[in-house]
Amino acid sequence: MDNLRTVVKRRQFFACFVVIVFMAVAARSQSLTLTDVQTVIAQAVSKAVSINQRVTISVTDKEGNLLGTFQMTGANANTLIRSVGRAGQGLENLTVPAALAAHSKAGTAGIFSTGGNAFTTRTASFIIQEHFPPKDDNRPGGPLYGVQFSTLVCSDIAIAALPLGLSGDPGGLPLYKNGVAVGGIGVEGDGLYTIDRDPTDSDQSFEEQIAVVGTRGFEAPPLIRGDNILVEGIRFPFANFSTTESVTAPAFGSLPGVVTSALRAAPASDFIPGTLGGVNGQFSSRFPIVAGSTLSVAEVQQILGGAVAIANVTRAAIRQPIGTNARVTIAVVDIDGKVVGLFRQQDAPVFGLDVAVQKARTTNFLARSDAGAKLTAAGLGSYVTRGVADGITLNGSIAFSDRGFGFLHRPLFPDGINNTQAGPFSTPLGDWSPFNVGFQLDLIRPALLAALSPNPPACRGAQFKKKDFLLAPCPCTSIPELPNGVQTFAGGQPLYRGSTLIGAIGVSGDGIDQDDLISAGGANLFPSPANMRSDRTFVRGVRLPFLKFPARPFVD
């Protein structure tokens, strides 16, 4: 009998070993190899040479890790941040290295895209402006208004930070292998880091042309491209250039230029496979479920479980095929802003990792009794004063959702209505741009500018797996509860035990109305007191929102 048990155990071990090896091989086959990175860059360079352009090209993996940067001979070393705002305001008219722009473009396309949606930096530009769609008067701001200031180098959450945050400058496209999202390519070369203010003009950016050719053999499946995804009946853009030309990549060693960031294969994932409430997904290796100062482990699990149960039956907004369920990242923080729980559904977009935590921390902070005092001490008292003038006292009397706060952080109030004044937390429209949005940027601007300086300060990120990982600088703000900044679009709300604030939940990844609905599932047993919710507050005679759910929320 003992021998039989030994044989069975050995066979079980062998079977498990085979499964593990198979999964490892499969994972590698769906990741970018060093040869893949060289091929993508070589194809892009061949196109640049053929149209007589000199550019810088970066490639990242699907989690934003930089896999290499190549600068062609004669390429612009720098690029100018410029869009519609007044020069010198926010980040407008700031000169930055072109390599940083290429990196952010590649990373944006990589962490935005999944097996159900393929987005580019042109797609990102379409959803972050003061109207959605851009130039369409009296329409609300973009559904991801403010997302550009996430995944920053100063973040304690981002797996692999992007030097300029998320990018809306055309020239960043996702990369796929066998229909699986594996990363992104970013091209910078025209000397201008901007956004697409007029999506109707079909401008032919040479950076985008070069990036498209770079993706040959790594193209996004047509069905899931952004231009096959509609939100509110509005079709997203993908790229204004397409090609069927065959590409023969020249030998990498013969390319005209230099490698400015060492080329490598995609590293191992930062996520750990797991299930929550029977739903497949991943936990963070850096942020396990723990107790906080105000939440127990059991309560955190309950909150995450309630949210993921709703997510698993919620109809996705930005995924193909139509009728599939949402895929999101869910984060829970305690009253101090500490991450006490984080879960990512399988194939949720990676950008939601940092954003979900930003959303949770934002709503938690705004519901604290000392929020106004902390902002004033941090040198942001002008926003506190403007809020008070509109009847908003940041003393814990209002339970703001991210949707409610974001409504006050738009250059037109009510949101998107032309010929109105800015909300109290926004830059006035005359100075506004996606690079100068107001409170959200001003909060993290010193850290961001320091990180972009020639000799940025650095501090060791003890929360990271790699001991030599330097975060430059950290954190993003001087306010302990907001170490990775704030977020200004919907998907988070504070949590209460009775009338006592105990933390917040943030959700991001698959449509903002869906994010609201899923966050409500998590907050169900810890809801905001009805009389404190932001939709009980009027500003300039306008009721603020709290949550908004999809019209047809659940899958059949």
Shared domain check, 311 and 413: yes
Residue 23 above 90 pLDDT?
no
Shared domain check, 82 and 227: yes
pLDDT of residue 137: 96
Shared domain check, 57 and 2: no
Confidence of residue 152 (pLDDT cuts 50, 70, 90): very high
Residue 493 above 70 pLDDT?
yes
Residue 16 above 90 pLDDT?
no
Shared domain check, 94 and 58: yes
**Residue 370, in any domain of the structure:** yes
Q: Which of these three, 261, 280, 308, is where a domain ends? A: 261
Q: Please choose, from the candidates 376, 371, 406, 384, the residue with its C-alpha nearest in 3D space to the C-alpha of residue 488.
A: 406
Report which of residues 13 and 131 the model is more confident about.
Answer: 131
Shared domain check, 243 and 116: yes
**Residue 405, in any domain of the structure:** yes
How far is 330 from 306, CA to CA, in rounded Å?
A: 10
Q: Which residues span the domain enclosing 404?
A: 271-435+487-543
**Global pTM?**
0.93
**Residue 213, in any domain of the structure:** yes
Q: Which of these three, 237, 261, 285, is where a domain ends? A: 261
Confidence of residue 454 (pLDDT cuts 50, 70, 90): confident
pLDDT of residue 29: 60
Residue-wise pLDDT for 358-403, tens only, equals: 999 999 999 999 999 999 999 999 999 999 999 999 999 999 999 9
How far is 378 from 388, CA to CA, in rounded Å?
A: 17
Residue 10 above 50 pLDDT?
no
Task: Give kind and range of the element (H or E) at residue 234.
Answer: strand 234-235
pLDDT of residue 459: 57
**Residue 539, in any domain of the structure:** yes
CATH number at residue 237: 3.30.450.150
Confidence of residue 290 (pLDDT cuts 50, 70, 90): very high
The first and second tokens of residue 495, run together, are 């949590």
pLDDT of residue 457: 67
pLDDT of residue 15: 34
**Residue 254, in any domain of the structure:** yes
Confidence of residue 33 (pLDDT cuts 50, 70, 90): very high
**Residue 471, in any domain of the structure:** no
CA dihedral 312, 314, 317, 321 (to 10 degrees): 60
Instruction: Tell me whether strands 94-97 and 339-345 are parallel, antiparallel or unpaired.
Output: unpaired
pLDDT of residue 468: 37
Count of domains forming the chain:
3
Shared domain check, 44 and 26: no
Mean pLDDT of the chain: 92
The stretch 308-328 carries a mean pLDDT of 96
The stretch 96-106 carries a mean pLDDT of 98
Residues 99 and 90: beta-carbon distance below 8 Å: no
Shared domain check, 191 and 337: no
The stretch 100-108 carries a mean pLDDT of 98
State percent of the chain over pLDDT 90. Answer: 86
Helix-helix angle 512-523:297-311, to 10 degrees: 140
Residue 474 above 60 pLDDT?
yes
**Residue 491, in any domain of the structure:** yes
Q: Which of these three, 217, 235, 261, is where a domain ends? A: 261
Shared domain check, 336 and 241: no
Shared domain check, 45 and 18: no
**Residue 414, in any domain of the structure:** yes
Task: Give kind and range of the element (H or E) at residue 261.
Answer: strand 257-261
Instruction: Tell me whether strands 192-193 and 78-81 are parallel, antiparallel or unpaired.
Output: parallel
Residue 466 above 70 pLDDT?
no
Shared domain check, 181 and 207: yes
Q: Give residue for tokens 């962490």.
A: 111
What number of other Cβ atoms are within 10 A of residue 307's Cβ?
30
Shared domain check, 253 and 351: no
Residue 13 above 70 pLDDT?
no
Shared domain check, 204 and 86: yes
